[in-house]
Structure 1
Amino acid sequence: MKYQDSIKQADVILAQAIKQLQLWHLAATPINYAISYEFVAQTNKALTAAIKYQLSTGKKLDNFYMEAVYQQFILGQSKFRDEMLSEFDGLINSVQTNVNDSTISVDSFISKLDSNLNDLKSGDKEKVNHACNNLAKATIVFKTEQQRLTERLQKVQKNSQELQLELEDIRKEIYLDPLTGLYNRKAMSKNIEAWYKENPDKSVAAIVINVDQYSQITQRFGTLIGDVLLSKIAHKIESYVDDSGLPIRTGGDEFLILLPEVDSQIAYEIGEKIREGVSKLRFISSKSGVRLPKMTISVGVNKFNVSQNVNAVIDKTRNSIST
């Protein structure tokens, strides 16, 4: 129940949410239930649009998709945490810049003080000696303060480095699929947006990969074994992608590779190499020693411009998949 709903309203929506889950053939888990409630209540337009689009493409609502929807549209972490990352990145850059500027400024000031000592000695002896004594004392005090400043700046630098590590962990949580370590859909959108800003005419080759008979494998051996197999296949897929490419887990048993400025023929060859590589994988249960079935994948290749609707391109590529 949402806090703004009355008890009567909540009861109605709760009952409808259960029926909606039954229509979607989903278990009433806390995540699924929360999403169904939002969908039925029609208060979260972005969530509703995302689910309607998923259904319109013929893709089922599985646990993988529901978890992604929950993270993005209910927890509301995406925009907030993205902004937080930008703010902290700016803070870190500012701190590092201040550290460098302060160090240069202090060194320059000390250098000027030292150089003036010789100039002062060329005038009236008594005044010059007095000035030199005062300047020497001031220099000692200043150097002491400078040492303290250096120590403080070093501490700030250490803190900023620790913060950078924490931010990296947050980035992983936001942009990486926890099971496979590949990028998720949010990372895909962020990279496509960056490519578009860089060049609206940038072309990208897309390789869509589906794991064959994955649902039968999980039904026979369980979801835990299925997760292990997906993770191994994902690692094999990633091994064929260099730093310029983007390997993504887009669905429960579906992967996508985006290759900017890569020819379709090269993308096709990469897809074939991945298919061959996965077919050579052998899986044996570490507990029982049972040899698991040989895994195969289906591959589809397409090419698009970053100004196009990426989801439509992916759907078209799915239709071109060959086994």
Structure 2
Amino acid sequence: MKYIDSIQQANKKMALAAQQLDEWRLPANPINYTISYEYVEGKNASLINAVQQRLAEGKTLDNFSMEEFYKHYILGQSKFRDELVDDMTDVVSQVDKSAQQSAQQVERFINKLDANLVHINQGEGEKSQLAIHNIRRASDDFKSQQQSLIERLLASQQKARALKAELDKVKQEIYLDPITGMYNRKALHKHLDTWHKQDPSRQLAAIVVSIDQFTEFHDKFGPLIGNVLLSKIAQKVSSYVDDSGLPVRTTNDEFLIFLPDIDKHIAGEIAEKIRQGVEKLRFISSKSGVRFPKMTISLGVDCFAVSESSTALITKARRILSQHPGDTSNKVILA
């Protein structure tokens, strides 16, 4: 993102960027303004296509989508950082494993040495006794040195585990949505790549989850309460997904659940359980005791090939609901 403009050109683009934000009905915060300026600049084709595609799907631009655009198309996104974290995690895990193996090998050697010294024949004269004495001294010195080595290896192991815990936190920042705790699009792309490498012909069941009337709720009660409600619904949705599944937050009020090797009708049954679970949720303010409106979700279910891109999967999954005739609120739609 480099701009080489005259003051006059920059002022003109700034005015266009502000006008564009008005059209999008977004506040002029730093991220939104940066996206708008880049958009009117007209040179970032990937960003422009992503914005236009979202608008073409009838989706409004919100703070969540603008932050996603900023991460992917302005920061350039940190593929190098992701690969670096993965490589560091592998190295740290190997250090941990090697330290543990080395400590165990040293301990086994010392035990074997002690056991064999007992069996040395001590009845073969003064030279034999002297040899045994020297071996024992050397053995004691060796054990002392190795004990120090074991302590250093254990210390290295503890440091490696501490570093791995820090790397896990970094991975959470990279791959998890901070409000819902669900995975983000970057994590989806990474999982799709892994699944494809394991089996290019693999099939995925996908459940798209859209929160009914969330925009109205958000506008009425504000972003703080809206985020709390969003988090509660996301937790309930995620509770129906086991470790093999992947719950992803794709937009402000939309989630996608990917279930490898699951039949569409089984996924439909899971979707119905999710719908019922969310419908039973009640939202009450812990401070004021105010009861908020009951929320429902719309769900669409279909199966896709793991070879498709994350963008294609999201687009096709959304069409399950957007192209369905009639009202989809609080319903499960099987494609």
Separation of aligned partners in 1, 2:37 and 2:130: 82
The equivalent of 1:132 in structure 2 is 132
Deviation at 1:28, TM superposition (A): 0.8
Deviation at 1:155, TM superposition (A): 0.8
| CA offset digits 1:185-228 (Å, max 9, x no partner) | 11222111111111111111111111111111122222222112
8 Å contact 1:78–1:174 — kept in the other structure? Answer: no
Separation of aligned partners in 2, 1:66 and 1:54: 11
> Following superposition of structure 1 onto structure 2, how do residues 113-192 of structure 1 map, counting pairs within 5 Å?
113-114=113-114, 117=117, 125-192=125-192
- AA aligned to 1:310 is L
Separation of aligned partners in 2, 1:197 and 1:129: 64
The equivalent of 1:315 in structure 2 is 318
- AA aligned to 2:322 is N
- AA aligned to 2:226 is G
| CA offset digits 1:125-157 (Å, max 9, x no partner) | 454444333322222221111111111111111
Separation of aligned partners in 1, 2:125 and 2:76: 74
The equivalent of 1:71 in structure 2 is 71
TM-score by length of 2: 0.85
8 Å contact 1:217–1:226 — kept in the other structure? Answer: yes
1:284 aligns with 2:259: no
RMSD over aligned Cα, in angstroms?
2.7
| Gap change, CA 1:99 and 1:316, over 3 Å in 2 | same
| 3-state secondary structure, aligned to 2:251 | coil
Separation of aligned partners in 2, 1:176 and 1:196: 21
Deviation at 1:114, TM superposition (A): 4.5
8 Å contact 1:113–1:135 — kept in the other structure? Answer: no
| Gap change, CA 1:131 and 1:208, over 3 Å in 2 | same
| CA offset digits 1:244-273 (Å, max 9, x no partner) | 221221111111111111111122222222
5+ residue gaps, structure 2, are 330-335
Deviation at 1:109, TM superposition (A): 4.5
| Gap change, CA 1:10 and 1:294, over 3 Å in 2 | same
- AA aligned to 1:240 is Y
Percentage of pairs with the same residue: 49
Separation of aligned partners in 1, 2:6 and 2:133: 82
Separation of aligned partners in 2, 1:200 and 1:57: 29
The equivalent of 2:251 in structure 1 is 251
Separation of aligned partners in 2, 1:145 and 1:43: 64
8 Å contact 1:35–1:70 — kept in the other structure? Answer: yes
The equivalent of 1:5 in structure 2 is 4
The equivalent of 2:225 in structure 1 is 225
8 Å contact 2:96–2:161 — kept in the other structure? Answer: no
> Following superposition of structure 1 onto structure 2, how do residues 29-44 of structure 1 map, counting pairs within 5 Å?
29-42=29-42, 44=44
1:242 aligns with 2:242: yes
5+ residue gaps, structure 1, are none
| CA offset digits 1:33-82 (Å, max 9, x no partner) | 12223333455554344334333433222111111222333345531331
Count of residue pairs brought into register by the alignment: 322
My pick for the range that moved more, 145-154 or 91-100, is: 91-100
- AA aligned to 1:5 is I
Separation of aligned partners in 1, 2:270 and 2:74: 37
Separation of aligned partners in 2, 1:130 and 1:49: 85
- AA aligned to 1:283 is F
